[in-house]
Amino acid sequence: MHDAVQVNGLRKSYGKHTVLKGLDFTVRQGEIFALLGVNGAGKTTALECMEGLRRYDGGDIHMMGKVGIQLQTASLPEHIKAIEAVRLFAKWNKTVPDKSVLESFGIYEIAKKRYAQLSAGQKRRLHLALALIGNPDILFLDEPTAGLDVEGRLSLHEKIKQLKSQGKTIILASHDMAEVEDLCDRIAILHEGEISFVGTVEDLSLKVGKQYNISIRTDKGIEKMKSGDINETLSILLDRYREEGTGILDIQIDRGSLEQHFIKITKENKK
Amino acid sequence: MNAFLYAMALQWKLDIRSKTLLITCYIVPLLFFAFMGSIFTSILPDAKNTLIQSMTVFGVTMGALIGLPPSLVEIYGGSVQNVYKANGVPISIGVILTNCSAFIHLFTMGSILFVAAPIIFGAQLPANPWMHFIILALLIGVSLSVASVIGLLVKDPSKTAMFSIIVFLPSVILSGIMFSNTLLPNAFQVIGMLFPATWGYRLMTEEVFRFENLLPLFLIWAAAAFLCALLLKRADMRR
């Protein structure tokens, strides 16, 4: 798989405060890639440098394709109508808006509404539709579902998955770990302006020390435990139940959420 | 070009919808004209000779200095400027679009005054209407350039209003449109010379292109344009 984005030694300071201390990572073509980090880790600055919205002090950023940016809310004049924004972006991109895209994002329903009258979800949908007007190869999404209700969130997740299936490379920043886990192929974790991890969620769980949460329901009750070696633990438990004559009704094993891994790795970094 | 024209027409509509420009470019100047016109012409019959000029200078000064800065603050004080960058458009387009739009609004307001004043108050028309409109265009351009400096320099909307008024009030009071500025102490006459309204009013009432009246306007415009370029560069560098 080819790289869609290459970031080499990206550095950025605000006055004496260094925000990005030489980031190196690549984003592969057609994948959904997330930048994660606690507040102040530098993910928005990194994202804005990659988007071309912010100047950077050193390093290189290479984009292999046309870029589309889902701008944050409040980035359009409050009196502009949704359809006017679409037409304006289309004119600037020297293209004609794709009606099917506008339809799928429900833009026609809000066409005559002014930006200030739109709900948070409608604004996000509009910004995503605007980002797609130039038919970009690489799409940047900053907190794409922040402030949305469950329905809006799920609907937008579906849209993002559809875009991936169309071969678009998607780079997003999010605080929502469940969202990242659901959507992303790979993640990068930023900590104090440095990359502390790049890889899949599975890679992350291996790095932080895989720990399974095991829950077994038997005819005598529910037993819960954590284990680093699933084979050994299950083997011991099953032998014990057999000896005791305990009947097993249900076994649930989960490998720990991204959120748990993220908290663990950021805590380790702080030490 | 097509995109620029669409963006300009859109900006013109947005300015009307935002009401700030609508109020400062049309409603207040025209109400002031209706009110002051009736007072001036009834107390001082000679005021009819300069009513169009004085009301035009007032309207242009108000529309530019109070009306334009909020539009620029909306663009450059927040994240609206990212829209330009995200679409590969230079961020200076915001200043250009808002200036062009405000220019059209103010020119329209000036034209309304030109037509209405003789009908309503029997005001005397300028001897050379073409020259009047050329000076009007010049005054609008210079006033908007000063207003752009305020809009780009001050990012906070409440502070912008304060700065606008700090420039607007002396512009109007010291320009000679309310009373002859020869009645003012020398220091105030000198301060008055810093504002485009003073020179615009002189040009309009004298109806002659005097170099000594035109030069200050060009100097103010050049200084304001230079400052705007610097402020835009600073805004771009800071990102």
Residue among B93, B104, B79, B78 nearest B3 (CA): B93
B 61-90 → A contacts, CB under 8 A:
74-75, 78-80, 82-83, 85-89
Residue B213 near residue B206, CB atoms below 8 Å: yes
| pLDDT tier, A137 (very low <50, low <70, confident <90, very high otherwise) | very high
Task: Tell which wins on pLDDT, A206 or B110.
Answer: B110
Would the CB atoms of A54 and B87 count as touching at under 8 Å?
Answer: no
Percent of chain A, pLDDT > 90? 33
Max intra-chain CA distance, chain A: 75
The rounded distance, in Å, linking the Cα atoms of B143 and A82 is 32
The C-alpha torsion from B51 through B56 and B58 to B64, rounded to 10°, is: 180
- A14-37 mean pLDDT: 91
Report the pLDDT value the prediction gives residue A1, as an integer from 0 to 100: 65
Å between A52 CA and nearest CA of chain B:
7
Nearest to A54 among B78, B89, B239 (CB): B239
Within 10 Å of residue A266's Cβ, how many Cβ atoms?
19
The rounded distance, in Å, linking the Cα atoms of A138 and B59 is 49
- B30-54 mean pLDDT: 86
Would the CB atoms of A75 and B80 count as touching at under 8 Å?
Answer: yes
Which residue in chain A has the smallest CA separation from B70?
A77
Which residues of A are less than 8 Å from B88 in CB distance? 92
Report the pLDDT value the prediction gives residue A265, as an integer from 0 to 100: 67
Which residue in chain B has the smallest CA separation from A45?
B239
Residue A136 near residue A68, CB atoms below 8 Å: yes
Mean of the per-residue pLDDT values of chain B: 89
The answer to whether residue A208 scores a pLDDT higher than 70 is no
Report the sign of the C-alpha dihedral through residues A262, A263, A269, A270, in that order. positive
pLDDT, one tens digit per residue, over A78-110 is 899 999 999 999 999 999 888 888 888 888 999
Within 10 Å of residue A113's Cβ, how many Cβ atoms?
15
pLDDT, one tens digit per residue, over B153-184 is 988 888 888 999 999 999 988 888 887 777 88
Q: Please, how many CA atoms are within 13 Å of residue A66, restricted to the half-sphere of its CB?
A: 12
The rounded distance, in Å, linking the Cα atoms of A142 and A148 is 14
Q: Tell me the backbone φ, ψ of residue B4, rounded to 5 degrees.
A: -65, -45
Would the CB atoms of A77 and B80 count as touching at under 8 Å?
Answer: yes
Q: Which amino acid is at B94?
A: G
The C-alpha torsion from A168 through A172 and A177 to A183, rounded to 10°, is: 0
ipTM over 0.95: no
Which residues of A are less than 8 Å from B72 in CB distance? none
Least confident among A99-103, B129-133, B140-144: A99-103
Would the CB atoms of B10 and A80 count as touching at under 8 Å?
Answer: yes
Q: How far apart are the first and last CA of chain A?
A: 36
Best to test chain B binding among A54, A56, A72, A75 (most B CBs inside 10 Å): A75
Whether B180 and chain A come into contact, CB under 8 Å, resolves to no
Would the CB atoms of A92 and B75 count as touching at under 8 Å?
Answer: no
DSSP for residue B95 = H
pLDDT, one tens digit per residue, over A155-196 is 888 889 998 999 999 999 887 888 888 889 999 988 888 888
Mean of the per-residue pLDDT values of chain A: 86
Whether A80 and chain B come into contact, CB under 8 Å, resolves to yes
How many interchain CB pairs under 8 A, A with B?
Answer: 62
The answer to whether residue A53 scores a pLDDT higher than 90 is no
Task: Tell which wins on pLDDT, B211 or A259.
Answer: B211
Percent of chain A, pLDDT > 70? 91
User: Which CATH number does the domain A1-65+137-208 belong to among 3.40.50.300, 3.40.50.150, 2.20.25.90, 3.30.710.10?
Assistant: 3.40.50.300
Report the sign of the C-alpha dihedral through residues B208, B213, B218, B220, in that order. negative
Residue ranges covered by each domain of chain B: 2-238
pLDDT, one tens digit per residue, over B91-109 is 999 999 999 999 999 999 9
Residue A125 near residue A156, CB atoms below 8 Å: yes
Å between B130 CA and nearest CA of chain A:
36
Joined tokens for residue A212 = 């399974």
Residue among B185, B56, B45, B196 nearest B117 (CA): B56
The answer to whether residue A209 scores a pLDDT higher than 70 is no
The answer to whether residue A232 scores a pLDDT higher than 90 is no
Residue ranges covered by each domain of chain A: 1-65+137-208, 74-136, 209-270
Q: How far apart are the first and last CA of chain B?
A: 27
Q: Tell me the backbone φ, ψ of residue A70, rounded to 5 degrees.
A: -85, 105
Whether B7 and chain A come into contact, CB under 8 Å, resolves to yes
With H, G, I as helix, E, B as strand and everything else as coil, classify residue B235: helix
Residue B124 near residue B26, CB atoms below 8 Å: no
The residue with tokens 């809006």 is A152
